[in-house]
Structure 1
């Protein structure tokens, strides 16, 4: 059953309570969950997020009894996973006059999922606002929380933050508000953070920096309880849980051989990301270093990143000699990965990976990162074509941060 509950002036919860034991992200939600959708009944009626795809038909039918779907002007999609955007296709087939409000990536994903090539889209950028007739919505991009397209929506007049998965809990409940809950939800709130948001801690910090500029009275997430009592407590909990553990004194060694300087630039961007995660690091061009010094540094390092340019399908300089020596060491308990720049081919990066795989270090790959941190946007080995541009530099920094999360959680 889809209910309608007022949460503020002309603002309503229109979600679905799912009190089953719900399969979710290779888990079973023993307490069930809710799929929270919101209806702003303004002069330009607006929906914020929908419900799980399993309940799309039920939800659209119930919504049609609340409002003439042809009156809907906007559908805000904060996050494109099917537990929140699952009813977008069904709704848009009825709400012919509505425009979808989302990020550029959100538009791309929605078109791919629901074949919405002919839909009207309003693509937002960080900080954009939208007048919906009596209320003003402000949008903040929060990428990688927990997928690339994610944003949050803030209702300026109501002082309500609609953050989708962020600040959620997995509890099937009919009380809706945290101050009406039958028991303290703090532990469930922390468990949700640990399972869903914890792998993306650096991006949590970025999000918190943005929303701390807002005056927030209520947080209306897309799972579990609406936080209308002491919303700041839950913001502070996110801040506390995303604070990095800097007591491990972790060390990283970046070994490289560069032909034109591009691989060196990749290494410097990786070092920047490691620095931002408080991982001590040393960048070494093997051309200018003694083998004894390299080996001594490798023995002390928790992470070894090895990179090369590609020339005639192979590594350059004396890097192969270094790798041969690394295969003789006991690297158990250490992590390693390959990186490099290339032009028309990038075989050297794969050759480095082959050498690293012959050691007893844990070699980080795309599969390893996805399963351990959820960072589906990172590809390892790291390959950068030609001279790193701004997008490539940002990718290198994000890669280093994702790798740092692996170290910090080990």
Structure 2
């Protein structure tokens, strides 16, 4: 293994042989703290590329453009670029295909191998002729010396052009985003499962969970392949020690997500403006409520599949496509199919893509409204390059939509007062607290009562946080927050304020007196006491996360006062 310093040891390059003729080229981005749809990263990320040398040579994926000089230099050190016969494109997002044009400049003879959609996307940003080979599921490419590559199309994981590549000779499955994680370390392999597990799950929830049905479809196609000894993913450590365990986690998580009774159809344009990122943020918010999401590219959609998806969905979300150009022809046809297939019983949400030539949002919104569809969240209008707050607004809009679709179930549950079990559970009392958190430019808060001391040394607490709470995304491992303890007899104004239903993106602290804690989270001035906390671990419990956090410091403002106590009549809702 060779590690080459690049820039103050914060951008490094690592090469290692997975087999005698399969080499991993890993670009380690230690300091990246945001990725894709602006989900926060705790541990940086990597961009993994692979070189397979049989009688013929294939390069699987490239890297991010920030590594251009270092990556190309390392590639030339490993092989004469004129000897590269194939460039296999797993999918065309810039973090994996950002250097395709540069590789073609030094290896013009290379044939680009990819799905039909991937080749179409590449034509849009390479802007030069190139040799290509479109492949479908089950088709093979023989590199010689036992390296027989077989391809598996895996659309919507998490782009419509995604493709997996299996080498029958080495039993290595090249998966790009699938089975990856944003986790940067010197460890080439997944030797420490406990260390990577939280990032593996968070990555799935953010990028793969909204496409759970597509995940299951891809896993089914994978069953026709041979044994998988190694998963050569595009981000994080390469999987070798825990291959079956981590693949099974994808299956179990996806099966749980697709058990929901209702589905939202999400239509976007993957390579136009910020449509892919905003749609993914909205989809993530929806899935937090237990509602299924199926994502479909307006450009690459089959019209029959569009019709079937719309007809079985409870709500439709549409990102604005381009108003003119080649893409507009395809998107207009798909929009027409959507409009012809909807019913007045469905809900609708629309958002701008912030491309150069978006369709007018009000025109499309009116067309759905005229057909009787209910607009659940206000149209998302993007007037500037999306920021953290933009994506958080999108996530909250998705959560609002999911909660609206669950409203009948929620009301029915709240009216169920006859169960002895529910009445007995209602006798479990708790204190009254408000959790406040700030990360970057994002702030959030949540009223809580399921809080308990969990350890003495270090001092720690456990908090149950519902999966559909806005603050949940700010309580990942390593995040910091403040637990504000409310005072008996002096909490109703705070409780009323934080129980309000806030619009997506609204400032939850407007009109509330706050101070700033050492960890930068807000402290409520009227609280009885506060504890500054750091998240150490999370455990999934059905519809909640149990968040264990260590307490770093705290203070009591009124030593003589008591903590407010919350009593419930039943235990099946708050």
TM-score by length of 1: 0.66
Given the alignment of the two structures, is residue 115 of structure 1 paired with residue 127 of structure 2, yes or no? yes
Partner of 1:393: none
Structure 2 counterpart of 1:166, from 165, 168, 178: 178
Change in Cα spacing, 1:358 to 1:156, as seen in structure 2 (3 Å) is closer
1:82 aligns with 2:121: no
| Correspondences of 1:175-186 after superposition (within 5 Å) | 175-179=187-191, 181=192, 183-186=194-197
Which one is further off, 56-65 or 22-31?
22-31
Compared with structure 1, are the counterparts of its residues 78 and 350 closer, same or farther at alpha carbon in structure 2 (3 Å cutoff)? same
* Structure 2 unpaired stretches of 5+: 5-12, 265-303, 315-337, 351-362, 383-389, 407-466, 469-574
Note if contact 2:349-2:376 (Cα within 8 Å) is conserved in structure 1.
no
In the alignment, does 2:112 pair up with 1:73?
A: no
Inter-partner Cα distance in structure 1 for 2:56 and 2:136 = 21
Answer yes or no: is 1:141 the counterpart of 2:153: yes
- 3-state SS in 2 of match to 1:170: coil
| Separation of aligned partners in 2, 1:237 and 1:109 | 31
Partner of 2:201: 190
Q: What SS is found at the alignment partner of 1:5? A: strand
Larger fraction in helix: 1
Partner secondary structure for residue 17 of structure 2: strand
Query: Any idea what SS the aligned residue of 1:39 has?
Result: strand
More strand, by proportion: 2
- Mapped to 1, the partners of 2:306 and 2:134 lie a distance apart of 34
Q: Name the residue aligned to 1:353.
A: 368
Q: Do the aligned partners of 1:337 and 1:353 also contact (CA within 8 Å) in 2? A: no
Where do 1:229-308 residues align within 5 Å?
229-245=241-257, 250=262, 269-270=308-309, 273-274=312-313
Q: Deviations over 1:306-325 (max 9, x none)?
A: 9669xxxxxxxxx9xxx7xx
1:213 pairs with one of 221, 224, 248: 224
C-alpha separation in 1, matches of 2:229 and 2:39: 32
SS at match of 2:150: strand
Aligned pair in 2 of structure 1 residues 221, 104: CA closer, same or farther (>3 Å)?
A: same
Aligned-residue CA RMSD in angstroms? 3.9
Task: Tell me how far 1:357 sits from its aligned partner.
Answer: 8.2
> Bigger shift: 25-34 or 216-225?
25-34
- TM-score if structure 2 supplies the norm length? 0.48
2:70 aligns with one of 41, 58, 79: 58
Deviations 1:191-233 (A, max 9, x none): 1101111111111111111112222111110000111113111
1:405 to partner: Cα distance? 12
SS state at 1:40 partner: strand
Q: Deviation at 1:174?
A: 1.3
Question: Per-residue deviation at 1:161?
Answer: 0.7
- Contact 1:337 1:356 (8 Å CA) reproduced: no
Q: Is the 8 A contact 2:167 2:173 kept in 1?
A: yes
